[in-house]
């Protein structure tokens, strides 16, 4: 075997010995499992209005966008969604990307110059970490959710130079909230920009589901930039950045993950726009998520698992180790319940856990049964 393939084989063996092999499991269109693994918080991926809007636009435009919007033209669908997203998120303007990952890469890079100090929360998502890396700017990793540590880093390393503080609003693995108001007090006092990834908060928190930044009263501030994905509560695919018009202009002119990437398909954009309409009116679904957050924490606590009521839709339960986490998730799956299984390097602190993402589209009976199954399958 060629040398490089031998080397890959050795690395695969090491991953297997550490219990860190990943498995692609088949999924059918009518997969009967109760889904607490996906991020379809409001149950909109299959909403009839969403499917109808996407199908109509699929007929009109065909499958793909065929090129970037700068090369092939910007459809009414893209423009209308951006306008709706900007209104919803309370920002001056918005720009969509073909994924949340690419929105984060492009945004972090777009906010940084060679002189900038980036201060990135230790628990940030891979897309924010990679954005810091490709920006080429100096990056300081701040202890998790600590405005005091962020302030100390800015004071020590950023006097007289531009700085950007990078955080999620709802952290994707543990589901806890960033102290956004306190972080903003720190950044605004020092002339720094605050970048917040609202991926797990958009649709779930804030008035009309307008997200964590909006819930913290920070929407529309000129020194706050928000990113989000269109793939979670909005049930589709794509990403968005919302902020001052001058920053969006900067991204259109210079953002490599916008310029050199084929635009998200018009049909998906139309489906997401329909989902956004449903989302804004879906206070009942958000109330159900809150009730389920409490129900899940109570059920797990009464079975002896330490679980606090999650502030949004993500609840993590510790597993003794990576193999135990995999076995636990597999046992749940065998009994018809899909849950996320998170192990290093997907967890920020080297531990392993099950991640439950709440889903308002699941029936009450299925949800209660799923909690029983998770408890009964525990290692």
Ligand X SMILES: Cc1ncc(COP(=O)(O)O)c(C=O)c1O
For position 167 contacting ligand X by CB under 6 A, the verdict is: no
Beta pairing partners, 36: 339
Contact residue for ligand X among 197, 240, 338, 343 (CB under 6 A): 197
**39 or 57: whose CB is closer to ligand X?**
39
For position 168 contacting ligand X by CB under 6 A, the verdict is: yes
Pick the piece of the chain touching ligand X (CB under 6 A) from 14-22, 93-101, 269-277, 287-295.
93-101
* CA torsion through residues 149, 150, 154, 157, sign: positive
Contact residue for ligand X among 116, 135, 167, 172 (CB under 6 A): 172
Cβ atoms of 127 and 255 within 8 Å: the answer is no
* CA torsion through residues 349, 168, 109, 139, sign: negative
For position 101 contacting ligand X by CB under 6 A, the verdict is: yes
Tell me 312's DSSP state. Answer: S
Beta pairing partners, 314: 357
**104 or 135: whose CB is closer to ligand X?**
104
CB of 328 to ligand X, least distance (A): 21
* Sites for ligand X among residues 119-148 (CB under 6 A): 125, 127
For position 261 contacting ligand X by CB under 6 A, the verdict is: no
* Sheet of strand 314-319, all strands in order from the earlier edge strand to the far edge: 34-36, 337-342, 352-357, 314-319
CB of 8 to ligand X, least distance (A): 26
Strand ranges (E), 71-162: 93-97, 117-121, 138-142
Pick the piece of the chain touching ligand X (CB under 6 A) from 14-22, 85-93, 194-202, 272-280.
194-202
CB atoms < 10 A from the CB of 21, how many?
Answer: 13
Give the distance from CA 198 to its chain's centroid: 7
Rounded Cα distance, 113 and 120, in Å = 15
**125 or 343: whose CB is closer to ligand X?**
125
Pick the piece of the chain touching ligand X (CB under 6 A) from 72-80, 197-205, 255-263, 320-328.
197-205
Tell me 310's DSSP state. Answer: P
Size of the site for ligand X (CB under 6 A): 14
For position 104 contacting ligand X by CB under 6 A, the verdict is: yes
CB of 161 to ligand X, least distance (A): 27
Rounded Cα distance, 336 and 187, in Å = 46
**Does the active-site annotation cover 232?**
yes
For position 257 contacting ligand X by CB under 6 A, the verdict is: no
Phi-psi region of 350 (alpha: psi -120 to 50; beta: other; left: phi over 0): left
**255 or 378: whose CB is closer to ligand X?**
255
Helices (H), 160-265: 180-189, 212-215, 245-254, 256-259
CB of 97 to ligand X, least distance (A): 8
Cβ atoms of 230 and 270 within 8 Å: the answer is no
Q: What per-residue string of b and e applies to 216-230 under the rule 16 or more CB within 10 Å gives b?
A: bebbbbeebbbbbbb
98, 135, 172, 210: the active-site residue: 172
Beta pairing partners, 142: 121
CB of 64 to ligand X, least distance (A): 17
**109 or 299: whose CB is closer to ligand X?**
109
* Sites for ligand X among residues 202-231 (CB under 6 A): 229, 231
* Sites for ligand X among residues 19-78 (CB under 6 A): none
**Does the active-site annotation cover 316?**
no
**Does the active-site annotation cover 172?**
yes
Question: Which residue of the chain is nearest ligand X when measured via CB?
Answer: 100
**127 or 316: whose CB is closer to ligand X?**
127
CB of 21 to ligand X, least distance (A): 21
Instruction: Report the run of H or E that residue 156 belongs to, with start and end.
Output: helix 147-157
Binding-site ranges for ligand X (CB under 6 A):
99-101, 104, 125, 127, 168, 172, 197, 199-200, 229, 231, 239
Enumerate the active-site residues.
39, 125, 168, 172, 197, 200, 232
């Amino acid at each position: 075997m060629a040398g490089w393939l031998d080397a890959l084989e050795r690395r695969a063996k090491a991953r297997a010995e550490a219990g860190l092999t990943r498995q692609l499991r088949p999924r059918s269109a009518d997969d009967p499992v109760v889904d607490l693994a996906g991020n379809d918080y409001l149950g909109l991926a299959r909403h009839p209005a969403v499917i109808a809007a996407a199908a109509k636009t699929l007929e009109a435009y065909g499958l793909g966008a065929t090129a970037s919007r700068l090369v092939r033209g910007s459809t009414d669908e893209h423009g209308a969604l951006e306008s709706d997203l900007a209104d919803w998120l309370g920002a001056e303007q918005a720009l969509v990307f073909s994924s949340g990952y690419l929105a984060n890469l492009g945004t972090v890079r777009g906010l940084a110059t060679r002189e900038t100090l980036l201060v990135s929360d230790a628990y940030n998502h891979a897309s924010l970490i990679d954005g810091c890396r490709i920006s080429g700017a100096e990056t300081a990793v701040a202890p998790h959710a600590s405005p005091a540590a962020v302030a100390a880093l800015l004071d020590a390393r950023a006097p007289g130079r531009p700085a950007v503080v990078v955080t999620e609003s709802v952290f994707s693995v543990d589901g806890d909230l960033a102290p956004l108001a306190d972080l903003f007090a720190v950044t605004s006092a020092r002339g720094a920009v605050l970048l917040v990834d609202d991926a797990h908060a958009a649709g779930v928190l804030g008035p009309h589901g307008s997200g964590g930044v909006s819930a913290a009263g920070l929407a529309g501030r000129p020194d706050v930039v928000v990113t989000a994905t269109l793939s979670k509560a909005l049930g589709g695919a794509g990403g968005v950045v919302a902020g001052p018009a001058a920053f969006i202009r900067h991204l259109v002119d210079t953002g490599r993950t916008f310029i050199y990437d084929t635009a998200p398909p018009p049909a998906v954009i139309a489906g997401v726009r329909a989902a956004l309409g449903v989302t804004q009116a879906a206070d009942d679904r958000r109330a159900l998520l809150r009730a389920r957050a409490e129900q899940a924490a109570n059920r797990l606590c009464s079975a002896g698992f330490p679980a606090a009521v999650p502030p949004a839709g993500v609840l993590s339960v510790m597993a003794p180790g990576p193999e135990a986490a995999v076995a636990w998730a597999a046992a749940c799956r065998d009994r018809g319940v899909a849950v996320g299984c998170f192990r290093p390097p997907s967890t920020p602190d080297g531990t392993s856990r099950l991640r439950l993402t709440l889903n308002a589209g699941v029936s009450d009976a299925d949800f209660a049964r799923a909690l029983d199954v998770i408890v009964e399958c525990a290692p």
